[in-house]
Structure 1
Amino acid sequence: MVESEGFKLEEHQTRTEDGFILVLHRIVPLKPRETNGDDAAPPVLVMHGLMQDSEALLAGGREHALGLWLASRGYDVFLGNNRGNRYSHKHLSWSPHDEAYWNFSIDELARYDVPALVGAVLGVTRAPRLAYVGFSQGSAQMFAALSADTALQARVALFAALSPAARAKGLSKSVLTTLVQTNLRFINVLFGRRRMLPMTVMWQNILSRTQFVRAIDCAMWYLFSWSNSQVSHARKCQLYPHIYSFASVKCVVHWFQMIRSRRLAMFDDTQDPAYAPVSYDITLIRCPVAVMFGGRDLIVECESLSAELPNCVLSHCEDKYEHLDTMWADTAKDAIFPRLHALLRALPPQS
């Protein structure tokens, strides 16, 4: 996907403190970005959403895929992969067949994966700071990481959150409403304690591409009331084969909990309705943060973020966009990506 667009691809590995081996894909720019004599722009780490991997950031070529779009403008782009997905699937002690391997939530992504990925990018490039672009859950884990580890903020020149998942909305008129309110033990009976929806790969192999696109569209409408009207059928045929990757059931349950509480909080395994898990305090985040979101996003609440963040440098809403559109809409290359490019160009020189 990268080399077909004329770029060079590198694969880098890093190890988390709790033993997972994470993979980063680096898109080496064809030529350095013009800087008018200033120091080079910071490297850019782009992070995927829930049940995705770095392929989701590449589908569509250099015109539509954010990773390739940035690389074509001279940025040194790294695509991260969270633990458990098809690329970051190794652990020093456990196998993906072990239940212990999948015992992680967004807390572990924030505590271990984010610092490891950031450290790896800065280690490879020898840059003092990087720009981090997180889509949906990719933003949630960074919000959590920065609020819990303020020292990490010194390593981040800009945090751009696309469809920022710092606070979830309560779902209405959705089959997911029942699951959100369901006991954790019952969810484990339904989905197990390992990977979430592993049969998706089987259906992708059985169905034709058009049938798979139709199935995904129907599922998104039934579960989330998403029309996906901002993504053309041709683009869906490019995207949908790359949007699913393995994630833990516990991560999905963590999202259910945050939808129920409508706040970014730690995982609650107490089964005690009187217990309120600790929230991640985003008012502690002092590094520059930009938020870009859709006016028809029914999953996350974004409008109040700019007032809570101490250093919000941009809050932009696209009225017709749903949750996925900040990354995948046909017009994201015109409505979202150039705004990110402008923010990166405006960053002060690296020292």
Structure 2
Amino acid sequence: MFELRLALLFSAFRLILNVEAIDPECYLTVPEIARHFGYASEAHVVRTEDDYILELHRFPCALNESDCRPSDQKKPVVFMQHGLLSDGFCFIPNMPSQSAGFVFADAKFDVWIANSRGTPASQKHIGFGPDDKRFWNFSFDEMARYDLTASIKYVLQTTSREDLYYIGHSQGTMIMFAKLADDASFNKKIRQFHALAPVASVSHIGGLFKLLGKRFLEFAEVLLDRLPYTPLTFPKWVQKLIGWICSQSRLENICSLEIGFIDGNEKMFNLTRLGVYLCHTPAATSLKDLLHWMQLMDSQKVQKYDYGAKGNMDQYGQETPPVYDLTKIRTPTFLYWSKDDILADTDDIRDSILAKMNGTIANSTELPHYSHMDFVFGVNAAQDIYMSMIETMRRDDNQRRKKLNLKAIY
């Protein structure tokens, strides 16, 4: 009875003040949003070596593809990895013609979208759940070592492939940089690495992270010491409330400040979808993950998590954390960056990526006036970035097929 009265009161409030309804996508998961737009979608469960349970989302078919078979090996496989405080939603935030996940599906790719540990779709563990502090004992080190390893292995086994194409955004690029640097054999599993807003070192980072700087690092270290392995998340009801508020057209400009404060810019967003964006973003992660990035700002190195001299000896057998050696990477890598991106700074890209990976950088593309989130949320990203990526991957896939046919003949 109370719920009914509350619903009636809310409806009356909307009628009196002419309040706009929240977009239904606010309450949908990634597979449900795909079906909402008419796409076939699948949810797959993956278990990591350290017993986290991850959920992968798959779009095996183009829209209205009548003869689509998910097991069709003719389709190239693409794997999409989101960044910090994000999840798989970042690849389907806009209309289908503007969202990477749908654009690649319509281009006849077998699309797989990752959800790192801690995100809403991947908050499960064999031994304990997200209410247990042990669940949140991770940074992007574990995402590279365990999540990426298990997810790519599962996708390759499911699709009967030896390799695939990888698209990473922000921390999604760092996860692959770390994995390829640490595991030489993994290079063979990635045909091409497409890095959107790539980050490795963050010595020149701007925005909210620069503003917080060392003060936040000191605060986070104290907090982790007193409350080890703390989640960094918003209560779901708060996030839905923000999404509803920002669905109101009269509040679009105010709500856009939230993203601009962190990112520095929001020029390419669809402001009418701000409520949907903010219902799903930011997504949950661990405080330890954010602290790891603050450590990189302080050390100006691309290194593993710093546990302190004693902790490093226990964890790594040395007093300082090991550095990820990007010179060991052999996978053809394509960079997409912008001078207007204050989080993936051009000096950091030059010093930590271009200088170290000069022999494996297949192409480096500068995008004018792109902020950090524009690479996945920008309404122009499909025409500016995704279509050329598709052409590059198709060309490579055609060459691969020709080689396989020649081997079959001889």
TM-score, scaled to structure 2: 0.77
CA pair 252-215 structure 1, distance change in 2 beyond 3 A: farther
| CA–CA separation in structure 2 for the residues paired with 1:13 and 1:255 | 28
Equivalent residues in 2 for 1:130-149 (5 A)? 130-149=164-183
| CA–CA separation in structure 1 for the residues paired with 2:270 and 2:284 | 26
Partner residue in 2 for 1:319 = 368
Partner residue in 2 for 1:285 = 329
SS of 1:55 mapped into structure 2: helix
CA pair 271-215 structure 1, distance change in 2 beyond 3 A: farther
Partner residue in 2 for 1:218 = 257
Whichever residue aligns with residue 263 of structure 1, its letter is K
Whichever residue aligns with residue 332 of structure 2, its letter is P
Is 239-248 or 14-23 further displaced after alignment?
239-248
User: Is the aligned partner of 1:245 residue 2:292?
Assistant: no
User: Is the aligned partner of 1:295 residue 2:295?
Assistant: no
For structure 1, the residue ranges without an aligned partner over 5 or more in a row are 34-38
Report how far residue 290 of structure 1 moved.
0.7
Partner residue in 2 for 1:112 = 146
Partner residue in 1 for 2:246 = 209
Whichever residue aligns with residue 234 of structure 1, its letter is T
Deviations 1:241-281 (A, max 9, x none): 22222111111111111122233210002178xx6422111
| CA–CA separation in structure 2 for the residues paired with 1:3 and 1:221 | 31
| CA–CA separation in structure 2 for the residues paired with 1:119 and 1:75 | 18
Of 57, 74, 81 in structure 2, the residue corresponding to residue 47 of structure 1 is 81
Report how far residue 216 of structure 1 moved.
5.2
| CA–CA separation in structure 1 for the residues paired with 2:375 and 2:395 | 21
Q: What is the aligned residue count?
A: 345
Q: For the Cα contact (< 8 Å) 1:41–1:349, is it kept in 2?
A: no
Deviations 1:80-118 (A, max 9, x none): 111111111110101111111100011100100011110
Q: For the Cα contact (< 8 Å) 1:192–1:249, is it kept in 2?
A: no
CA pair 277-180 structure 1, distance change in 2 beyond 3 A: farther
| CA–CA separation in structure 2 for the residues paired with 1:221 and 1:43 | 34
Is 121-130 or 172-181 further displaced after alignment?
172-181
CA pair 223-51 structure 1, distance change in 2 beyond 3 A: closer
Of 95, 99, 106 in structure 2, the residue corresponding to residue 72 of structure 1 is 106
| CA–CA separation in structure 2 for the residues paired with 1:332 and 1:89 | 30
Report how far residue 166 of structure 1 moved.
1.7
| CA–CA separation in structure 2 for the residues paired with 1:333 and 1:129 | 24
| CA–CA separation in structure 2 for the residues paired with 1:331 and 1:66 | 11
Partner residue in 2 for 1:28 = 60
Report how far residue 222 of structure 1 moved.
3.7
Of 319, 340, 343 in structure 1, the residue corresponding to residue 389 of structure 2 is 340
SS of 2:120 mapped into structure 1: coil
Q: For the Cα contact (< 8 Å) 1:60–1:238, is it kept in 2?
A: no
| CA–CA separation in structure 2 for the residues paired with 1:195 and 1:100 | 10
| CA–CA separation in structure 2 for the residues paired with 1:201 and 1:168 | 33
| CA–CA separation in structure 2 for the residues paired with 1:154 and 1:89 | 30
Report how far residue 138 of structure 1 moved.
0.8
| CA–CA separation in structure 2 for the residues paired with 1:269 and 1:183 | 15
CA pair 227-124 structure 1, distance change in 2 beyond 3 A: same
SS of 1:87 mapped into structure 2: helix
| CA–CA separation in structure 1 for the residues paired with 2:50 and 2:153 | 15
| CA–CA separation in structure 2 for the residues paired with 1:213 and 1:18 | 42
User: Is the aligned partner of 1:16 residue 2:67?
Assistant: no
User: Is the aligned partner of 1:266 residue 2:304?
Assistant: yes
Q: For the Cα contact (< 8 Å) 1:66–1:337, is it kept in 2?
A: yes
Equivalent residues in 2 for 1:88-237 (5 A)? 88-171=122-205, 174-182=210-218, 184-188=220-224, 193-199=229-235, 201-205=237-241, 207-210=244-247, 217-224=256-263, 226-237=264-275
Report how far residue 235 of structure 1 moved.
4.1
TM-score, scaled to structure 1: 0.89
User: Is the aligned partner of 1:81 residue 2:120?
Assistant: no
Report how far residue 4 of structure 1 moved.
2.4
CA pair 163-333 structure 1, distance change in 2 beyond 3 A: same
Partner residue in 1 for 2:34 = 2
Q: For the Cα contact (< 8 Å) 1:157–1:287, is it kept in 2?
A: yes
Deviations 1:272-315 (A, max 9, x none): 8xx64221111111011111012111122224533421211110
| CA–CA separation in structure 1 for the residues paired with 2:268 and 2:45 | 35
SS of 2:41 mapped into structure 1: strand
Report how far residue 215 of structure 1 moved.
6.2
CA pair 96-317 structure 1, distance change in 2 beyond 3 A: same
Report how far residue 63 of structure 1 moved.
1.1
Q: For the Cα contact (< 8 Å) 1:47–1:79, is it kept in 2?
A: yes
| CA–CA separation in structure 2 for the residues paired with 1:192 and 1:253 | 12
Q: For the Cα contact (< 8 Å) 1:32–1:74, is it kept in 2?
A: no
| CA–CA separation in structure 2 for the residues paired with 1:50 and 1:308 | 23
Whichever residue aligns with residue 176 of structure 1, its letter is L
Of 35, 58, 63 in structure 1, the residue corresponding to residue 92 of structure 2 is 58
Whichever residue aligns with residue 70 of structure 1, its letter is F
Whichever residue aligns with residue 90 of structure 2, its letter is A
RMSD of the TM alignment (CA)? 2.7
Whichever residue aligns with residue 270 of structure 1, its letter is G
